């Protein structure tokens, strides 16, 4: 593998500064909760509420990737798959719930000429069942893929490429109209959420608050994990897996466990995202979207949970603004950001905060 | 008593035979040095014992019961085998103390670890550096930390791959003293080393490998006067 590729893909090894306390994560948890309270009290404009809620969902997705990439050295370029599993199951719940209350079948079901929802949708109008199913399904897919890969010791770029292929295959599958999942149009037109009309301001606020609280909980939980003995083994596995194995640890089990956890966190992000945008379609499984998640993490600061949040919020905040203001410039701006980070800030924007005198690539003895 | 018995071990990479029917027995309490020119198969031998490479044929018995060639790296480690790699392999993003904690292995209960870590820190002389990141250590300190990591589990079989590579003379002498102090009646130690003075200082017996075969086994003095050994290795 080329040296440059290695540099881009490799998490920051070497003498990482790993503080016992993480004021950035603590601050972000506080900020999420404060913004959530602010939304409940101040009731700002609906588009702002919605944007904040979507950003929180993206931040959760970025944290899920940072957990496996930054702390375990496993770069997934297919995390959109787990996000989509959460999103699709959530959409199925919303439509089932709508059918149960209004009796009107969703458009795509009528379009297919079916008289009822497909049989495997049974029970999805119960929110608890839908939640458990979404997380369990993401965990199961991650488990099977992870087991096959980690047992045969598929690592590094090979794993990344296979994960990318997996999300692509899933996209092709979901483009089929006969799967009963909306086909290429996806699923939309969700009428109700827990019996409340979808478009009402209260629902938008509730969804945004839920996403912010979930982000705070995910950040706090993952921070506890990476600060624990398991977290130390993750860093050890990232930097020298053979060394860790020959000290008596089963790295397959460690990687599989964290990989499945990461997939379930990504699914949670998808669950929170879909009701806020009101649609899910196979585009969410496009390979470039999965790559973009890695870009958020790299821009914010790989291997630091706060960095993933900052990257996701910054890139998507810019995207919300610029893709409306000057849509044709957005791909160039994103590419430019990536180049700046790779060349000047190899540990992401958090390098700026740390005020390091010189970027690491000038010091490294390659 | 858990010595190490290697029987007719053959390892091939494609058409290249790295080890060709090597047999070797290390008694408990013994320090054995394996020497030989580059490409003789020394590191491959350690790779097979620690489970990283699987042989074509032959057995590696730890004690009477466990054939290591059928076990995974982690299982072999849990059976009491520890290996120090040629390139110092410590975890750079963890502190010295955290490295040693992981070195204790999953079998040692958390409550027993602090005492074990404190004693190892004393043995390897890194007490004052216990809370700095291992990535910041000097090369010699990394070598000692890795020796400490493999010691923390109190292994029955210790494999040391060039433990004094890149060390100064003073550090080499210190390391030799440390390894002599590790000798115990219930522990077998296998050292690979090029530095003959170091081998003389630590080893009870030597095995000379050449092109995947055992050329000589016995005392270092005997090796130095053996015509074949002189020809392929010492007489260069």
DSSP secondary structure, A134-181, as one string: HHHHHHHHHHHHHHHHHHTT--HHHHHHHHHHHHHHHHHHHT-GGGSS
Please tell me the pTM assigned to this model. 0.89
pLDDT at A303 over 60: yes
**pLDDT tens-digit series, residues B56-79:** 999 999 988 889 999 999 999 999
What total number of domains does chain B contain? Answer: 2
Are A14 and B93 in contact (CB < 8 Å)?
A: yes
Secondary structure string (H, E, C) spanning A257-273: HHHHHHHHHHHHHHHHH
Residue A282's pLDDT is 95
Indicate if B1 and B34 belong to the same structural domain. Answer: yes
Distance CA A276, CA A132 (A): 20
CA B81 to chain centre: 9
Which of B77, B93, B133 shows the shortest C-beta gap to A246? B77
CATH of the domain at B35: 3.40.50.300
Chain B interface, best mutation among A243, A253, A254, A256, by max B CB count within 10 A: A243
- Kind of pairing, strands B81-84 and B157-161? parallel
Distance CA A190, CA A195 (A): 11
Residue in the structure block whose two tokens are 């054939």: B67
CA A95 to chain centre: 23
Write out the two tokens for B121.
């820190």
First to last CA, chain A: 15
* A316: in domain: no
Indicate if B70 and B1 belong to the same structural domain. Answer: yes
* A12: in domain: no
Residue ending a domain, among B110, B130, B154, is B154
Contacts of A242 (CB under 8 A, 6+ apart): B52, B73, B89
Give the Cβ contact number of residue B193 at 10 Å: 24
Are B135 and A243 in contact (CB < 8 Å)?
A: no
What total number of domains does chain A contain? Answer: 1
pLDDT classification of A341: cutoffs 50, 70, 90 = confident
Residue A212's pLDDT is 97
Which of B51, B93, B103 shows the shortest C-beta gap to A13? B93
B153 touches chain A (CB under 8 A): yes
Q: Which residues of A touch B76 (CB under 8 A)?
A: 246
Strand partners, B133: B95
pLDDT classification of A362: cutoffs 50, 70, 90 = very low
What was the ipTM of the complex prediction? 0.90
Distance CA A221, CA B161 (A): 40
Chain A interface, best mutation among B81, B102, B149, by max A CB count within 10 A: B102
pLDDT at A345 over 60: yes
Full residue range of the structural domain in which residue A241 is found: 41-287
Chain mean pLDDT for chain A: 87
pLDDT at A366 over 70: no
Strand partners, B20: B10
pLDDT at B107 over 70: yes
* A295: in domain: no
Indicate if B73 and B122 belong to the same structural domain. Answer: no
Angle at Cα B217 formed by Cα B215 and Cα B218, nearest 5°? 145
Residue B52's pLDDT is 93
Residue ending a domain, among B96, B127, B154, is B154
Give the Cβ contact number of residue B131 at 10 Å: 9
Residue A136: Cβ-neighbour burial (10 angstroms; 0-12, 13-18, 19+): middle
B101 touches chain A (CB under 8 A): yes
* A304: in domain: no
**pLDDT tens-digit series, residues B181-226:** 889 998 999 999 888 889 999 999 999 998 888 888 888 888 888 8
Strand partners, B10: B20, B57
Contacts of B149 (CB under 8 A, 6+ apart): A247, B90, B99, B100, B102, B103
Q: Which residue of B has its CA nearest to A151?
A: B72
Indicate if B41 and B101 belong to the same structural domain. Answer: no
Helix (H) / strand (E) element for A197: namely strand A196-197
Indicate if B4 and B64 belong to the same structural domain. Answer: yes
Indicate if B150 and B184 belong to the same structural domain. Answer: no
Residue in the structure block whose two tokens are 């209960």: B109
Are B101 and A232 in contact (CB < 8 Å)?
A: yes
Question: HSE-up of A293 (CA within 13 Å, CB side)?
Answer: 34
Indicate if B12 and B102 belong to the same structural domain. Answer: no
Q: Are A268 and A82 in contact (CB under 8 A)?
A: no
Full residue range of the structural domain in which residue B112 is found: 88-154
Q: Are B184 and B29 in contact (CB under 8 A)?
A: yes
Residue of A181, A155, A184, A154 lying closest to A172 (CA atoms): A184
Chain B interface, best mutation among A12, A246, A252, A302, by max B CB count within 10 A: A246
Indicate if B147 and B167 belong to the same structural domain. Answer: no
Residue A35's pLDDT is 94
């Amino acid at each position: 593998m080329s040296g440059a590729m290695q540099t881009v893909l490799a998490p920051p090894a070497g003498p990482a500064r790993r503080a016992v306390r993480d004021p950035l994560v603590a601050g972000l948890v506080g900020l999420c909760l404060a913004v959530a309270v602010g939304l409940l009290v101040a009731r700002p404009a609906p588009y702002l509420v919605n944007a904040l809620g979507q950003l929180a969902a993206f931040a959760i997705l970025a944290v899920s990737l940072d957990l496996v990439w930054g702390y375990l050295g496993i770069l997934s370029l297919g995390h959109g798959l787990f996000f989509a599993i959460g999103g699709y199951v959530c959409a199925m719940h919303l439509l089932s719930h709508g059918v149960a209350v209004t009796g009107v079948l969703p458009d795509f079901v009528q379009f297919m000429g079916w008289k009822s929802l497909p049989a495997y949708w049974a029970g999805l109008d119960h929110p608890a069942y839908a939640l458990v199913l979404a997380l369990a399904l993401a965990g199961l897919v991650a488990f099977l893929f992870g087991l096959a890969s980690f047992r045969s010791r598929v690592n590094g770029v090979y794993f990344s490429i296979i994960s990318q292929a997996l999300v692509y295959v899933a996209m092709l599958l979901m483009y089929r109209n006969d799967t009963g999942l909306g086909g290429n149009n996806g699923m939309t037109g969700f009428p109700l959420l827990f019996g409340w009309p979808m478009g009402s301001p209260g629902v938008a606020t509730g969804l945004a608050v839920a996403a912010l609280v979930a982000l705070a909980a995910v950040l706090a939980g993952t921070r506890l994990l990476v600060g624990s003995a398991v977290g130390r083994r993750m860093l050890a596995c990232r930097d020298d897996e053979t060394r860790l194995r020959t000290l008596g640890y089963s790295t397959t089990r460690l990687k599989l466990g964290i990989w499945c956890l990461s997939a379930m966190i990504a699914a949670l992000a998808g669950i929170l995202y879909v009701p806020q945008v009101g649609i899910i379609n196979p585009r969410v499984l496009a390979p470039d979207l999965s790559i973009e998640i890695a870009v958020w993490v790299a821009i914010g600061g790989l291997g630091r949970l706060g960095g993933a949040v900052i990257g996701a919020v910054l890139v998507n905040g810019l995207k919300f603004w610029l893709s409306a203001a000057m849509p044709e410039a957005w791909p160039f701006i994103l590419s430019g950001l990536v180049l700046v980070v790779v060349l000047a800030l190899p540990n992401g924007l958090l390098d700026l905060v740390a005020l390091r005198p010189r970027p690491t690539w000038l010091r490294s003895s390659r | 008593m858990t010595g190490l018995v290697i029987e007719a071990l053959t390892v091939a990479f494609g058409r290249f035979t790295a080890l060709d029917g090597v047999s070797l027995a290390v008694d408990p309490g013994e320090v054995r040095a394996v020497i030989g020119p580059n490409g003789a198969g020394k590191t491959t031998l350690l790779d097979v014992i620690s489970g990283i490479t699987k042989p074509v044929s032959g057995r590696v018995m730890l004690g009477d019961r466990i054939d290591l060639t059928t076990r995974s790296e982690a299982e072999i480690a849990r059976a009491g085998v520890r290996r120090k790699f040629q390139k110092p392999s410590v975890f750079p993003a963890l502190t010295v103390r955290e490295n040693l904690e992981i070195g204790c292995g999953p079998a040692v209960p958390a409550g027993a670890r602090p005492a074990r870590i404190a004693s190892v820190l004393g043995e390897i002389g890194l007490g004052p550096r216990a809370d700095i990141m291992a990535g910041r250590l000097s090369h010699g300190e990394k070598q000692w930390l890795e020796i400490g990591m493999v010691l923390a589990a109190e292994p029955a079989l210790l494999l040391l791959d060039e433990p004094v590579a890149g060390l100064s003379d003073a550090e080499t002498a210190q390391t030799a003293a440390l390894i002599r102090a590790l000798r115990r009646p219930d522990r077998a130690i296998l050292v690979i080393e090029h530095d003959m003075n170091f081998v003389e200082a630590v080893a009870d017996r030597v095995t000379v490998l050449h092109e995947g075969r055992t050329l000589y086994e016995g005392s270092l003095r005997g090796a130095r006067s053996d015509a074949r050994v002189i020809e392929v290795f010492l007489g260069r």
